[in-house]
Copies of this chain bind each other. A is one copy, B any other.
Amino acid sequence: MQFTAQEIGFMLNGTVEGDPRVAVDKLAKIEEATAGSLSFLANPKYEQYLYTTGASIVIVNHDLVLSEPVKATLIRVENAYSSFSILLEKYNTIKLNKTGNELPNFVHPSATVGENCYIGAFAYIGPGSSIGNNCKIYPNAYIADNVTIGNNVTLFPGVVVYFDCVIGNNVIIHSGAIIGSDGFGFAPQPDGTYNKIAQIGNVVLEDDVEVGSNTTIDRATMGSTVIRKGVKLDNLIQVAHNVEIGENTVIAAQTGISGSTKIGENVILGGQVGVVGHISIAKGTQVQAQSGVSRTIAEENKKWMGSPATAYGDHMRSQIVVMRLPELEKKVTELEKIIAELRNNKH
């Protein structure tokens, strides 16, 4: 797809400065852009690149004052960064604009599929499931029995949704994510073996949730594992049975949440964090990467770190001393000697 500076200026409600007929067919960072690229300049720190860039068109802020001549055609807008973001999104929407049925796929006669959907080859939609409008079910995705899926939902290739799960609107699930596999529940027996505890609950993903690739979210033993509106989960995350994650919480890759834990709204968990089961984490909490949360966090909007996680400042202060420990130990040994000496001199 090719667009001219004039067309883009019109799309963004901006002012074209330079040749309006120049055309672009790709997006690039200003420092890496080559001919035919569209780029943007938002941060004044990068202004130097404006005068050397190979980009054919650059989106800039209305109030930018040039200090040198510029080869590229400029498009001046209110906010260069957000205008560029809009273009990124449009670009992606066109890229991912698939509709229709690719054969062979498997849609059970008792399943319902809304309008304007894409059902890829080898995708599977089980008995009693319903899919809303404008959904994209990519190849090799699997939707089991009695699953409910809203509108504008994208399941990338290889996503698996187990039976009875419920998915809201505008949800995006990346490849290999598993929604609704059995919770890890086993009753120990006197002879050392374990009996499986049947997991008959489900998973509910509310609207606007995004789930990263190869993340796993287990179904509840009974009731629901709930991921609230607007939650964003990165890749390779583990969410155990009966967990509840509050609205607009963001969790980075490889973090694990143990069973029945409740996480509040607008929480941020770094990568590789572990959270034990049956606790709660207050809204606005932030946990640094690789931390281990082993107790309920009741106070809101605090920062935590370490394993076990403690208040961020306390942790940092302790860690600094840990690095000075060999020195501290040496000091104590010297003090012991001096004191022994002082005592001997006394007697």
Contacts and interface: CB of A to CB of B under 8 A. Distances in A.
Interface of A: 27-29, 32, 85, 88-89, 91-92, 95-96, 102, 104, 106, 120-122, 124, 138-140, 142, 144-145, 156-158, 160, 162-163, 172, 174-176, 178, 181-182, 184, 186-187, 192-200, 208, 210, 212-214, 216, 218, 222-223, 230, 232, 234-236, 238, 240, 247-248, 250, 252-254, 256, 258, 265-266, 271-272, 274, 276, 289-290, 292, 307-308, 310, 314, 317-326, 328-329, 331-332, 335-336, 338-339, 342-343, 345-346
A216 B235 contact: yes
A230 B89 contact: no
18 contacts: A32-B222, A106-B122, A124-B157, A156-B162, A176-B216, A178-B213, A178-B235, A193-B248, A214-B236, A216-B235, A236-B236, A236-B238, A238-B254, A272-B292, A290-B307, A310-B323, A335-B336, A345-B346
A210, A213, A252, A329 — most chain B CB neighbours (10 Å): A213
Given A88-B197, A192-B248, A198-B91, A216 B213 contact: yes
B318 A214 contact: no
A200 B88 contact: yes
Contacts of A120: 124
B95 A163 contact: yes
B124 A140 contact: yes
Nearest to A96: B163
A176 B142 CA distance: 11
Nearest to A236: B238
Nearest to A124: B139
A158, A232, A250 — most chain B CB neighbours (10 Å): A158
Nearest to A308: B319
Contact of A184 (B92, B235, B329): B235
B342 A252 contact: no
Contacts of A289: 258, 274, 276, 292
A108 to B, nearest CB: 9
Contacts of A29: 222-223
Nearest to A258: B271
A22 to B, nearest CB: 20
Contacts of A186: 232, 250
B256 A222 contact: no
A176 B198 CA distance: 20
Contacts of A140: 122, 124, 140, 142, 158, 160
Contacts of A234: 184, 238
